[in-house]
Amino acid sequence: MTTGLDDLQNAIERAGFAYRGAFHPQTADGVPPLANGQPCQTVILVGMVGSEQWSSFRCSAEAEDGLPDPLDRWGHRQLTRLAKAFNAEALEPSKGPPWWPFQRWAQRAEAVYPSPLGLLIHPVYGLWHSYRGALALATRLDLAPRHDDPSPCISCIGQPCLRTCPVQAYTADGFAADVCIGGLKSAAGLACLGQGCAARCACPVGRSHAQAPEQASFHVRAFLHNQDL
């Protein structure tokens, strides 16, 4: 069938995702060939922004079955359905090796930039967004021109994200995962476990899109669980 970008965007939203941009891959992007050996011509990224898609996951069977990795399993199911419907192949950040370079792909698809926390920051959503997967197509779709606003970190005064972590896991040298994990297992990490990462919450960008405590806490607890495996 003939597929346009509008068809894909509508289907992505119906599946409970947010459309997160697209790009025509180049060799340096590390996009794999399709299963039949054809080169991928268009990559569509899907994800979540703020709390807008959280209810779709919370109403799913995966959210209630008590099994590990519910968000990844829900995302895999929905992404697989989209891929089948549009004759595409699904690529996921949680499935590997190989581990696909989703941060590079995200920066190719839309205006996002590395933040001092290592997370990608969006000029509108701040740090309150994520990528759940990508659709690789053999068709070269027409894409709208990009409008790149500058990184909000350039004009940020004081970088509160680096000063707010209760155990100083973020420094100019990067993220000390072991320090963060130790903090989350102590009294110092109770607020992060219940309300979301304090450093992330300190970012002034996109606060109207900040995740509700249940969602933010879910991600912190999932990080801690995965580090313990």
Please tell me the predicted confidence (pLDDT) of residue 59. Answer: 96
Whether residue 129 sits in one domain with residue 176: no
Range of the domain at 41: 5-137
H helix or E strand, kind and range, residue 160: helix 160-163
pLDDT for res 3: 67
4 alpha-carbon distance from chain centroid: 24
Residue 195, judged by CB atoms within 10 A of its CB (0-12, 13-18, 19+), counts as: middle
- How many whole angstroms separate alpha carbon 177 and alpha carbon 38? 39
List residues bridging with 37 in a β-sheet.
Answer: none
Our CA angle for 116, 121, 125, nearest 5°, is 140
Structure-token pair, residue 225: 């669980």
- Specify if 83 maps to a domain: yes
Residue 143 lies in a domain: no
For the chain, report the end-to-end CA distance as a whole number of angstroms: 43
> What residue ranges of the chain have pLDDT lower than 50?
1-2
Phi, psi angles (nearest 5°) of residue 94:
-90, -5
Backbone angles phi and psi of 46, in degrees to 5: -130, 150
Same domain, 28 and 117: yes
Residue 226 confidence (pLDDT): 85
Whether the CB-CB separation of 167 and 180 falls below 8 Å is answered with: yes
- pLDDT at site 229: 54
Query: Is residue 208 a part of any domain in this protein?
Result: yes
Q: Kindly state whether residues 194 and 123 are assigned to the same domain.
A: no
Residue 203 lies in a domain: yes
My answer on whether 110 and 18 are in the same domain is yes
- Provide the domain count of the chain: 2
- The answer on 180 and 112 residing in a single domain is no
- 181 within domain boundaries: yes
Q: How far apart are CA 208 and CA 210, in angstroms?
A: 6
The verdict on 20 and 124 lying in the same domain is yes
- The answer on 93 and 19 residing in a single domain is yes
What is the residue whose two structure tokens read 């799913």? 60
The pLDDT score that the predictor gives to residue 1 is 43
Which pLDDT score is estimated for 41? 98
pTM: 0.93
Q: What is the structure's pLDDT at 227?
A: 81
Confidence (pLDDT) at 22 = 97
Residue 145 lies in a domain: no
Q: Are residues 51 and 128 in the same domain?
A: yes
Please state, in angstroms and rounded to a whole number, the distance separating the CA atoms of residues 46 and 91. Answer: 10
Do 161 and 214 lie in one domain? The reply is yes
* Of 78, 146, 68, nearest in space to 107 by CA: 146
Residue 148 resides in a domain: no
User: Does 128 lie in the same domain as 46?
Assistant: yes
Please check whether residues 39 and 110 belong to one and the same domain.
Answer: yes
**Of the residues 137, 169, 195, which one is the last residue of a structural domain?**
137
The dihedrals phi and psi of 82, each to the nearest 5 degrees, come to: -65, -45
Q: At what angle do helices 177-184 and 213-228 cross, to 10 degrees?
A: 110
9 & 59 share domain: yes
Residue 205 forms part of a structural domain = yes
Torsion angle, alpha carbons of 192, 179, 124, 129, to 10: -70
Burial pattern 160-178, b for ≥16 Cβ within 10 A else e, equals ebbebbbbebbeeeebbee
Domain boundary among 90, 105, 137: 137
